[in-house]
Amino acid sequence: MNIKDKFKKFFSKKRHIATIATIIILLTIIGLNNYLPVGPGNYNQKQIDKIHSSTSSDHFSFAVMGDNKNSFKIFSKILKDIDNDHYIFAIDVGDLVYDGEKAKYRIFYNIIKNERTPFLVAIGNHDIREGGAENYFDIFGKFYYSFDYDNSLFIVLDDANEKRIDAVQMKWLEGELQKSEQHKFVFLHVPPFDPRSGVDHSLSDKENAKEFMDLMEKYRPNIVFTSHIHAYFDEMKNGVNYIITGGAGSELWGTDPDHYFNHYIKVEVSGDKVSKEVIRFPSPDYNWFDRFFYNIWTYINGFWVAHKLLVILILIILILLADVSIGKFKELLKKN
């Protein structure tokens, strides 16, 4: 073997060792992302403590959004806008992640953890997939909860199963609605009804949905906020205001400019008055062609952000295998 061949063999071996070391490092990082805890836990209660530590006022505003699960760009713009305003808190009413794998929750948590505005979450159907219910609990705490601020009560529910609100929770809900605060707001992911004709993306247990709506009619909260449907709808049903706000960045399939756009809701409480405003963000053009490709890109980008280390690992392994195979092939040619 001449000197040139010796150098080639030496550097080839070094290159393979470095590649294998890189693979081991990536495997370790991926493993840790799926094993180590996300944040210190009990996140929602820590945000409530922040709210309670602020000066109480009967004139304040809060922000409501839902369904950010695939989009990091629009969601980040919404968070920046919220931090630039003077909200007492913001709440995301579910589908925080595409599915509940710990690595995906870690990405979401890393986006919201430095928010200046206290940021609360509710649980959605996508958040409980892939063992996500346990991960949600470990990070955020209780699946349903309530808190107060000045003259208002905020009630956050769990209907992530997409079927019903269980009996224990319904009993607890009625107890909360009986409290004395002047204003009451209810938050849940899956709406009790679908305002659109010809489709139904609401609770599948219609008797339970009616029971919930009967309870709302009995106690008349100011607004019931939901998401799940990737759109904006503002409906009055038997004296109760229901708002669907599913425009925090997830895919938009409809083309009606009155409903299918990126947005969040600003709610202002001033004494005995409650007002709301839709804060719109750039959305794809209102035609099926643009929306189809925008949604595909949203999925691709979401997959890349969540799995980029895995993609890089696979590419490195493929390059290593190709390099080894080419080297073996060249040796075989020389022997022949």
What are the tens digits of pLDDT across the range 10-69?
456 777 788 888 889 988 888 888 888 899 999 999 999 999 999 989 999 999 999 999
What CA–CA distance (Å, rounded) separates 187 from 292?
A: 30
Higher pLDDT, 27 or 275: 275
For the chain, percent of residues with pLDDT exceeding 90: 75
Give the pLDDT confidence of 218-253 residue by residue, as tens digits.
999 999 999 999 999 999 999 999 999 999 999 998
User: What secondary structure, in 3-state letters, does 154-214 show?
Assistant: EEECCCCCCCCCCHHHHHHHHHHHCCCCCEEEEECCCCCCCCCCCCCCCCCCHHHHHHHHH
- How many angstroms separate the CA atoms of 83 and 89, rounded? 10
Q: Identify the burial level of 78 via C-beta atoms within 10 angstroms of its C-beta, where 0-12 means exposed, 13-18 middle and 19 or more buried.
A: buried
Detail the DSSP E strand segments found in the chain. Answer: 59-65, 89-92, 119-121, 145-149, 152-156, 183-187, 223-226, 232-237, 240-245, 263-270, 273-280
Structure confidence at residue 172 (pLDDT): 98
Other C-beta atoms lying within 10 Å of the C-beta of residue 188: 29
- Compute the radius of gyration of the chain from its Cα atoms: 25
pLDDT single digits (tens) 190-201: 999 999 999 999
| 39 token code pair | 């944040």
pLDDT over 70, % of the chain: 96
Token code pair at residue 320: 């290593």
List, in sequence order, every residue forming a beta bridge with 120; answer none if it has no partner: 91
The per-residue pLDDT of the chain, averaged, comes to 92
Q: How far is CA 17 from the centre of its chain?
A: 40
Give me the pLDDT at residue 7, please: 46
- How far apart CA 24 and CA 63 sit, in angstroms, is 43
What domains are there in the chain, each with its CATH number? 3-35+289-335 (no CATH), 43-283 (3.60.21.10)
Q: What digits encode the pLDDT tens for the residues 89-140?
A: 999 999 999 999 999 999 999 999 999 999 999 999 999 999 999 999 999 9
In the structure encoding, which two tokens stand for residue 282, read together?
Answer: 């750039």
Q: Say if residues 189 and 227 touch (Cβ distance below 8 Å).
A: yes
